[in-house]
Chains A and B, each alone.
Chain A
Amino acid sequence: MDPSTLGLILYGLGLANLAAIYAVMVLGLNLNWGVTGLFNAGVSGFFAVGAYTSVILTAPDSPQFLGGFDLPLPVGMLAAMLFSGLVALAIGAITIRLRSDYLAIGTIGIAEIIRLVLKNEEWLTNGVRGITTIPRPFVGDTALASELSYLAMTLVILLVLYALLEGALRSPWGRMMRAIRDSESTAAAAGKNVDARRLEAFVLGSMLMGLGGALFAHYLRYIGPEATEPITTTFLVWVMLIAGGSGNNRGAILGAFVVWIIWSATELVTRQLPTEWAVRASYLRIFLIGLLLQFVLQRFSRGILPERNPAERAATGPQDKVL
């Protein structure tokens, strides 16, 4: 095959792989936000926990970090989900009752603490240097086969998750979650254990973010504390969800692919520029993504979000409107 065509195909596969990985995380965020109305601003934290857990459990022995368990990949990924779920359970048990702004700051805090731990506990994580001896499945003879098989695995995972989530949404559990999102007081009056349900959604969503982290680490074969920077991870995942239409699993996946393609396309453009400009241009990309988000919020705020903020009291009419 002509090398430039191969390059293009490989690039496209790389794009698809990362988009699919992000899609897994967006599904998780949708479970938090779109379905249950929980403002999880700590996506990067759960992502990091999942990534590092899987890496530590599956990597070969190393003096630089806590490795050597050499467990198979599926175990690593399941452990990633389990561990992020546990962290979510711990933080959620304390903060789940809080009003959205406060839940946001609580989850930001936990992501920050996770980042500090990953950065400073060098015995565990090799600190800022990160870990590079990460195993990856399907590393065969050709890059093409490797990319394709990883993509196949990720897409299968994505489809299974999608099916499970859609099923869950149609089930009585799903209806109850939406009832809680729309009117917490009514649901509580009907005898539903609102806090327990919200905690469930919080933990499950965070587990998906952890899985995304694991998939990410094994794909790129590198993980470091700055890879979990809130800027890229948390923000991008949120933009993907909002742009794709939250409350909606299909929208979540669509948003992931569309935004990731836009994000990567802009990177392609800026990479053509001379180095000095290219670096600066990457900040311009972030600025424009932020602007895109504002545009989407202003145009489409109706219907994108759950009708009611669960932590607020029922509306008492328009007299409280300040502006």
Chain B
Amino acid sequence: MAEFVNLYLVNGIVLGCVYGLGAIGITMIFGILRFGHFAHGDMMTSGAYIALALVWASGLPVLWVLPLAMVLTAALGAGVHWAFYRPLGTGTHSTIIIVIASFGVALMLRSAVQLFFGVDIVTYKRGFQTPILVFDTIRVLPRHLWIIGLTVVLVAALHLFLKHSRLGKAMRAMSDNPALARISGVGTTRVVIAAWVIGGALAAAGGVFLGIDTQLSSQMGWNLILPMFAAAVLGGIGNPIGAALGALVVGVAEELVTYPWFGDPLISPAYKSAVSFAILVGLLIWRPTGLTRGRVF
């Protein structure tokens, strides 16, 4: 039991946190701009490496530079939108051109990281960490506690923002019914920029957390695309909190299928990504609105 929780459940939750921070951005962009942002994983990679650069430059621990990394990645997101997506005419009838462009952007972000940092694997400076004992049997690594705790804080802050602030409500309105939002006087530019800023900032956090938990590599973000899309669809496209919850399900599910339930794991750990693929395809066929009955686009 202890092994189950320590090695699998906690890992699944941590993975879910990383997926969730990215999936929130994906679902917001889907809801407000109406296209699947395939460069979001590489945006997380960019955020992680921006943080790395800040760590090298300042000598501070990575969590200290995280806020600045989030701000810079938010700017990156807005910049990418302005340079590559806006000129192609985003809107409810976003043609597939923008999706193709986002593949290109993914590649550009990844190769920029490779150009400046190379392809070798790096880590944030990390000392040895002794696990913290919880409830006398469960051992959790401090870095896992940080990741889970900070993710909860960020998601809670986002929820409050969306629920109670004027801009947050405007974003939900635009995601729900863009024409009516405009009729009500909502300026679309502001909402779109907000979506990129929030998406970029959370992507940076997700990337940094992944880097903290494992390591940094130029492929790290692209590998998350499948589970993050699965999470977004699971939570109902356009529903950020749904995406966070969906991500938790996907993360835990991935770990659970590799747990040796009956002596052997259900599937070989090498095929973990097949889990999110199966979830995604299953949803798209049987329940495209997701668990929370979001919109179907």
Give residues in A with beta carbon < 8 Å to B: 39, 41, 94-95, 98-102, 104-106, 108-110, 112-113, 116, 119-120, 231, 235, 238-239, 242, 279-280, 283-284, 286-287, 289-291, 293-294, 297-298, 301, 304-305, 309, 312, 315, 319-323
Do A320 and B179 touch across chains, with their CB atoms under 8 A apart?
Answer: yes
Q: Does B140 contact A (CB under 8 A)?
A: no
Contacting residues, chain A, for B33 (C-beta < 8 A): 322-323
Q: Does B174 contact A (CB under 8 A)?
A: yes
Contacting residues, chain B, for A238 (C-beta < 8 A): 100, 103
Given contacts A106-B284, A294-B83, 18 further A-B contacts (CB under 8 A): A41-B103, A101-B36, A102-B233, A104-B36, A105-B229, A120-B271, A238-B103, A280-B115, A280-B118, A283-B114, A286-B110, A286-B111, A293-B104, A294-B108, A309-B93, A309-B95, A320-B179, A322-B32
Q: Is the contact region of chain B dominated by helix, strand, or loop, or is it mixed?
A: helix
Query: What would 6 A/B residue contacts be, using CB atoms closer than 8 Å?
Result: A104-B99, A291-B108, A320-B179, A322-B32, A322-B90, A322-B192
Least CB distance from B41 to A in Å reads: 11
Given contacts A294-B104, A323-B192, contact A113 B99 (CB under 8 A): no
Q: Does B64 contact A (CB under 8 A)?
A: no
Contacting residues, chain B, for A119 (C-beta < 8 A): 270
Of residues 90 to 108 in B, which have CB atoms within 8 Å of A's CB atoms?
90-93, 95-97, 99-101, 103-105, 107-108
Q: Does B209 contact A (CB under 8 A)?
A: no
Do B111 and A116 touch across chains, with their CB atoms under 8 A apart?
Answer: no
**Separation of A4 and B107 alpha carbons in the complex (Å):** 36
**Separation of A42 and B38 alpha carbons in the complex (Å):** 13
* Nearest 10 A/B pairs, CB to CB: A101-B36, A320-B92, A290-B108, A109-B277, A283-B114, A286-B111, A321-B91, A287-B111, A293-B104, A283-B111
**Separation of A94 and B288 alpha carbons in the complex (Å):** 13
Do B90 and A323 touch across chains, with their CB atoms under 8 A apart?
Answer: yes
From A105, which residue of chain B is reached at the shortest CB distance? B229
Least CB distance from B213 to A in Å reads: 21
Q: Does B226 contact A (CB under 8 A)?
A: yes
Q: Does B34 contact A (CB under 8 A)?
A: yes
Contacting residues, chain B, for A283 (C-beta < 8 A): 111-112, 114-115
Q: Does B273 contact A (CB under 8 A)?
A: yes
Contacting residues, chain A, for B182 (C-beta < 8 A): 319
Given contacts A101-B36, A106-B284, A287-B111, contact A113 B93 (CB under 8 A): no
**Separation of A291 and B101 alpha carbons in the complex (Å):** 9
Q: Does B124 contact A (CB under 8 A)?
A: no
Do B100 and A297 touch across chains, with their CB atoms under 8 A apart?
Answer: yes
Kindly identify which residue among B112, B174, B277, B284 contacts A287, using a CB–CB cutoff of 8 Å: B112
Do A290 and B105 touch across chains, with their CB atoms under 8 A apart?
Answer: yes
Do A113 and B277 touch across chains, with their CB atoms under 8 A apart?
Answer: yes
Do B188 and A120 touch across chains, with their CB atoms under 8 A apart?
Answer: no
Least CB distance from A315 to B in Å reads: 6
Least CB distance from A233 to B in Å reads: 12
Contacting residues, chain B, for A99 (C-beta < 8 A): 297
Do B99 and A101 touch across chains, with their CB atoms under 8 A apart?
Answer: yes
**Separation of A109 and B274 alpha carbons in the complex (Å):** 8
Least CB distance from B129 to A in Å reads: 31
Least CB distance from A56 to B in Å reads: 20
Given contacts A101-B36, A298-B88, contact A287 B108 (CB under 8 A): yes
Do B36 and A105 touch across chains, with their CB atoms under 8 A apart?
Answer: yes
Contacting residues, chain B, for A94 (C-beta < 8 A): 281, 285
Given contacts A294-B84, A320-B179, A322-B90, contact A98 B284 (CB under 8 A): yes
**Separation of A46 and B100 alpha carbons in the complex (Å):** 19
**Separation of A291 and B112 alpha carbons in the complex (Å):** 12
**Separation of A235 and B107 alpha carbons in the complex (Å):** 9
Do B100 and A242 touch across chains, with their CB atoms under 8 A apart?
Answer: yes
**Separation of A272 and B90 alpha carbons in the complex (Å):** 42
Least CB distance from B114 to A in Å reads: 4
Least CB distance from A267 to B in Å reads: 14
Contacting residues, chain A, for B93 (C-beta < 8 A): 309, 312, 315, 320-321
Q: Does B87 contact A (CB under 8 A)?
A: yes
Q: Mark B271-297, 1 if CB is under 8 A from A, else 0.
A: 101100100110011000000000001
Given contacts A283-B114, A309-B96, contact A104 B297 (CB under 8 A): no
